[in-house]
Every structure is written in C-alpha cells, then in structure tokens.
Structure 1
Amino acid sequence: MKLTQIRNATVLLDYGHARIVVDPMLAPLGTLPSLKWLTRQRRRNPLVDLPAEAPALLDSATHALITHCRKGHFDHLDRAGKRWLRERQLPVLCMPDDADHLRERGLNVQVLQATGPTPFGHGTITPVPCLHGEGWVGRLMAHGHGYLIEQPGEPSVYLAGDTVLSEPVRQCVRDNAPAVCVVPAGGAAMDLGGELIMDGPQALELAALGQGIFIANHLEALDHCPTPRAALVQAAHRAGLAHRFHVPADGQTLAFALNTA
C-alpha cells in the first residue's frame, strides 16, 4: 500500500486494485475564505497550492472517501472537489448522513454501513466516530467519521478524520492495532472555543498508545491550523517516536508492507 499526502486532509491510498482519494479539497491557492474572523492577520485559504504531483495522482483515483462534508466543511470537500468528482463520476464512499447532501450535488454516491464493516475491494471499511471539538463549539460541527480500512495482504489503515483525542479514537488504536494511522495534528481552532482536532501533543499521545506507524496531516494548509511541521518533527524526536511518527510534505509518497509496525 502506498499513501500520498496531497494537502491538508486530502490523501491518496493506493492499493493497486483501488486508489482512494480522501476528502478532496482541490481549490487553488487563496480562493477560499479565511476561517479566522477576529484576527488582523486573516489569510485566505488554502495557504498553499496543490503540489505539482497532484494532477497525475488524482487522475489515477478510482474511488473517493468522504469523512464529513456538511455544515460548510469546505476544507474536506470544496466546490472544486465536488466539480472534479461530478465530472468523473467516481464512486464516492460516505456515511448515510452525508449521502443526500452529496447526491444533490450530482455525485455518484455509494453509502457505507452506519456501523460495522462494509465490504470494499477484497476487504472492508469500518467507520469510527469522530469528536470534532468539545463543548459549545463542538455542537456547531458536523462530527463525521474516521475509517478503518482492511484489505488482505495489505497493512490496515486507520484514517482518524477530524477529531480530538476521544475514547473511540483511543479504542480503535488499542483494540485494532492499525498498522498505519493517519491523524490530524494541526490543532485547528476558531477565534473562540477549544480545538476542533488533535494538536501535536495529542497526536503524539495517541502514537505512544499504539504500535504502528503514525502519519500527521492537517498541517500548514489552512489559517486556523497553527501547528508547524518542523516543530512537530522535533517534538516526535523528543518523545522517542520519530522512527514511527511521520510528518510528510505535500506531494510525498510513503510505501508500507504488510509487516509494517
């Protein structure tokens, strides 16, 4: 299995028989609004353009997988991403709560089971609940789901989605021991309220709980995600986790074998 970090939450999982693009946010540099309103240093999103490798990678995709998309979450599926999916009519895997929203936009929706595994390829995809912020700010969010993807002959992959470090996330890592975990580490927060996703320390805490490889994303692409890659790499070294905690650059591809651990 190969995993390519494209930008923010957008990654490509390549299993050979299936190449899954996750949460396609495809807008050009600076064409989306800021996610901060009270600061004097507002910046339009995304803060960086797609990497040069993106067009070829996206052209190879056979499926899309959406973690959440309602309530204005353009950072996981923006207009450019919807248009791209609609034009290609790629099968779009999603949870039941998102299905009507996506169908209304002309996408080729394939609904996953709300709980338990759904057959996919030669294996399964199983949803894992997200907690997209706590307290009053969490009540404004579409919480979505992460996914545990299991394919025979390939390392298991847990895509955590947009979540803080919650008990379902810990339980997935403890009980299923995914070989590869893709976790948000940007510490996204609005002007008021707590964090909406894991920050660096929470991502490293989760990595210490597991045994597999951890891949951090949601970094340096949106104005409400303050975690810098360099600081996260240094923190992983200090925690003794650098050998299995990766912080890929946009466009970087990582390859994993079945015995990845």
Structure 2
Amino acid sequence: MKLKQIRNATLRIDIGGVKFLLDPYLGDTEVYSGFEGTLNDHLRNPRIPLQTSMEEILDVDAVIVTHTHDDHWDEAAIANVPKDLPVFAQHAADAELLASQGFEDVRVLTENSEFNGVSLIRTPGQHGSDEALAAIPEILGEVCGVVFKHPDEARTLYVAGDTVWNRHVEDNLARHTPDVIVLNAGDAQVPGLGSIIMGTTDVTKVYETMPEATLVASHLDAVNHCALSRNALREYVQAHDMTDRVLVPADDEAYSF
C-alpha cells in the first residue's frame, strides 16, 4: 500500500494494484475566496500551491469524493478529472451532482462497494459537534470516510474524512481495526461553533484508542479556516511522545505500508 499527500485532503492511494484519487482540490493558489463565516475568511484559497504534477495526480483508476465541499471537489477538479473515470460519491444526492457535471460513471459508496478487487467501505462521520451541525446543517452537511481493504494487502486503511472525534469514529475504529488511519487534522474552525475537523485533542484520542495503528495527518495548511499548521502539529506530536506512530507529511510526500 502506498499513500501520497497531495494537498489539503487530496490523497493518492495505491492499494492492491489499483490507484485512487481522493477528494481532489486542484485549483491554483488563491484562486478562490475564503470560506465565508469561518476563521480567517479574508484569506484566499488554496493557501499553498500544488507540489505534484497534474499528470501524476490524474494517473489513477478511480476517484473518491467523500463530500462536495469546495476544498474537496473544486472547479479545477471538475474541469481536469477525465469525465470517463469512475467517480465514487457518498450518497445519491452527491452522485446526482457529479453526473450533472458531466461525469459518465458515477457510483455510490456503500458498506459493500468494490472496485477492481479493492473493498471500499463507506463509514459515517460528523463535520463538527452536535451543536455546530444543529446550527448550520445546510453548510456542514453530510460527510463520509472510507475503509480500504484488499486480500493481498497486509494492512487495512481507514480515511476518516472531514469529521471530529465522536461516536461514529469510535465505532468505525472498533469495527474495522485499521492499521493505517488518515485524519483530517487541520482543526478547521467556525467562530462560535468550534472545530469542524480534528485537531490535536482528536488526534491524541485516536492515537490512544488504536495503540497498534499508524496515523497520517492530512488537511493542513491549505485553506483559510484551518487553525492548526503542520509545524504546530509536528511540535505537538514530538512534545507528547507520539512520533512513533503519527506522521505529518509534506505535500508530495509518500509512504509505503
């Protein structure tokens, strides 16, 4: 299994001989306005440039979109991802949107999805606290994660997606016992409503809950509302003696498991 950090939550995942692109966010630096009503919304996105070539990013067999927020599926992704590539969406509503954008092979993730021998298991998450979701449900919306398994791979991968630590994540960990766990850990903030993805406390909770797993931190440095930087997370991980199992990759950095 190989995992490459592209930018923000965008990942290239190679497993069982199949290449997946997850949550492509492909726009040029500062081409989009900041997310209105969020932390530092005066800043433009993406905050940092792509470090991986578009040719390599798009050299995949399928695309997975955990949800259609603009920093996971942007105008550049819609324009650049080949329309005949299989694209997996979290539910029927997102699938309908992707089909309306011209994609010809849109599939809905389930707990029993499969692609070229790779099991793709849709997992629930929650894009913020119960209070945040109650306050702005139409903005936060539904999200998902994905568990990847293949009979020739010794390890199971769990990409948690845009979620905070909650009962869903706890249940997913207990059910699937993943060996490698990707956490969107930039601590994105909505003033007055708190974190809408994981931060240091959530990462620590996963680290303590899964003592045999390797954690990979994603969704850092690229969008205006992320309060936790890569450097700050690396310092936290080192200060709390978590460097044995927590990886904080730079963009274009890859790991093999």
Question: Aligned partners of 1:77, 1:41: CA distance in 2, in Å?
Answer: 19
1:80 aligns with 2:70: no
Question: Aligned partners of 1:49, 1:193: CA distance in 2, in Å?
Answer: 29
Secondary structure class of the residue paired with 1:100? helix
User: Contact 2:4–2:252 (CA<8 Å) still a contact in 1?
Assistant: yes
Question: Aligned partners of 1:35, 1:240: CA distance in 2, in Å?
Answer: 34
Structure 1 match to 2:53? 54
Question: Aligned partners of 1:136, 1:167: CA distance in 2, in Å?
Answer: 15
Question: Aligned partners of 2:130, 2:168: CA distance in 1, in Å?
Answer: 17
Query: 1:40 and 1:236, CA in 2 relative to 1: closer, same or farther beyond 3 A?
Result: closer
User: Contact 2:35–2:225 (CA<8 Å) still a contact in 1?
Assistant: yes
Structure 2 match to 1:145? 144
The 5-angstrom pairing of residues 234-249 of structure 1 reads 234-249=235-250
Give, in angstroms, the shift of residue 151 of structure 1: 0.9
Query: 1:31 and 1:146, CA in 2 relative to 1: closer, same or farther beyond 3 A?
Result: same
Secondary structure class of the residue paired with 2:79? helix
Query: 1:40 and 1:207, CA in 2 relative to 1: closer, same or farther beyond 3 A?
Result: closer
User: Contact 2:35–2:41 (CA<8 Å) still a contact in 1?
Assistant: no
Residue 130 of structure 1, aligned match among 125, 148, 159: 125
Structure 2 match to 1:103? 99
Question: Aligned partners of 1:12, 1:42: CA distance in 2, in Å?
Answer: 30
Question: Aligned partners of 1:49, 1:133: CA distance in 2, in Å?
Answer: 27
Question: Aligned partners of 1:106, 1:60: CA distance in 2, in Å?
Answer: 19
1:30 aligns with 2:30: yes
Deviating 4+ runs (over 3 angstroms): 36-41
The 5-angstrom pairing of residues 213-252 of structure 1 reads 213-252=214-253
User: Contact 1:30–1:47 (CA<8 Å) still a contact in 2?
Assistant: yes
Q: CA RMSD in A?
A: 1.8
Alignment coverage as a number of residue pairs? 250
Give, in angstroms, the shift of residue 173 of structure 1: 1.5
Question: Aligned partners of 2:122, 2:218: CA distance in 1, in Å?
Answer: 19
User: Contact 2:4–2:254 (CA<8 Å) still a contact in 1?
Assistant: yes
Structure 2 match to 1:259? none
The percent identity for this pair of structures is 28
User: Contact 1:68–1:145 (CA<8 Å) still a contact in 2?
Assistant: yes
Structure 2 match to 1:90? 85
Unaligned runs of 5+ in 1: 257-261
The one-character-per-residue Cα deviations of 1:220-255 (angstroms, maximum 9, x if unpaired) are 001100101122112222332211100000010111
Counterpart of 2:254, as a letter, is T
**Normalization by structure 1: what TM-score?**
0.89
Counterpart of 2:219, as a letter, is H
Structure 2 match to 1:185? 185
Query: 1:39 and 1:156, CA in 2 relative to 1: closer, same or farther beyond 3 A?
Result: closer
Question: Aligned partners of 1:100, 1:222: CA distance in 2, in Å?
Answer: 26
Give, in angstroms, the shift of residue 59 of structure 1: 3.3
Give, in angstroms, the shift of residue 35 of structure 1: 1.7
Unaligned runs of 5+ in 2: none
